[in-house]
Amino acid sequence: MSRVLLGIYLLVLAAVGVFVFLPTGALVPSVAAAGAGWVALVALVNWLLVRRHPARPAGTGWAFVVAFVAGVLVFGAMAPVNEALMGALDGAGRFARWAASPIEEETLKLLAAVLVMASFKRIDNPVAAALIGMTVGFGFQCVEDVFYVDKGVLYNMVSDADGFAQSAPGRVITPVSHCLYTALAAYGAGKAMFTPGTSGGWRFGTALAWFLAGYALHAANNVGAEFAGDSVAGTVFIIALLIALPVLGIWLYVRSRKSAATQASATPQLP
């Protein structure tokens, strides 16, 4: 049943992306070519990160392929929804608009991760769940990068090359964002799904707490980027955050490997 729900969810995301999102704009050919390479590179980096991770159960390669594709499809469906939300919050003020903007993105990404986890039974521990979330986030992030670079090229009044030069570096130097947000949320969902002997209230509270942790980082990033040019404090905040996010992401990844390796070595092996 879970695989049926996952299939339906992916088909709905794909339909929204194809019939609602894609007709809204033209992708510059040069950006499309560079974007295809970028998506392939991100997919490769993601696979290298999960392939030999001690927490990844054997035989789960396809789960990560599906998770990456799901992240790509979530972005295609998310862009028109996000624009509608920002329009609805137009009178709420800049802070409220940008603080609220991640809620639907994080919800749909987490739903994709949970459906993937439920569909592949070998995903059976919270760290593996976090890796699934990371993969969904990477899929989302790489297509978002292409989308924003394309907008930078289309709306640049000087030239396509100038638009690319101004928009691409900012996307490339901030790779640790959605993969971190969704990994945190999926870790909480994994603890809720794979920790036996716990109450429904504990499971809900744990999943919600980790979801809010990822959401808070995303909201802080959006708000910081919006107010960066308004004051020295805003600029310092966003620079500090852009340094802190990859440091946190790398630290959590390294810690997850050590924790999973320690747990695996402590598990009795059958003769």
Which structure tokens are listed for 161? 């090359």
For residue 15, the tally of other CB atoms under 10 A from its CB is 13
The answer to whether the beta carbons of residues 116 and 66 sit under 8 Å apart is yes
Cα torsion angle, 143, 149, 154, 160, sign? negative
Residue 130 Cα to chain centre, angstroms: 11
Which structure tokens are listed for 200? 């429904």
d(CA 222, CA 205): 25
pLDDT at 171: 75
Q: Letter for the amino acid at 235?
A: T
Domains of the chain by residue range = 2-259
The answer to whether the beta carbons of residues 210 and 193 sit under 8 Å apart is no
Residue reference for tokens 């969902």: 189
Q: Which of 259, 245, 266, 3 is CA-nearest to residue 125?
A: 259
Residue reference for tokens 């809900």: 204
pLDDT at 79: 73
d(CA 32, CA 164): 12
Helix 102-119, helix 200-227: angle, nearest 10: 140
Instruction: Provide block-wise average pLDDT over 10 residues at a time, the chain (271 residues).
Output: 88 83 68 85 94 93 96 87 80 84 93 96 95 96 87 77 77 81 98 94 97 96 87 90 93 94 66 45
Half-sphere exposure of 102 (CA within 13 A, CB side): 24
pLDDT at 80: 77
Q: Where does residue 114 rank: exposed (0-12), middle (13-18), buried (19+ CB within 10 A)?
A: buried
Cα torsion angle, 41, 55, 141, 16, sign? positive
DSSP 58: T
Helix 102-119, helix 178-194: angle, nearest 10: 50
pLDDT at 157: 75
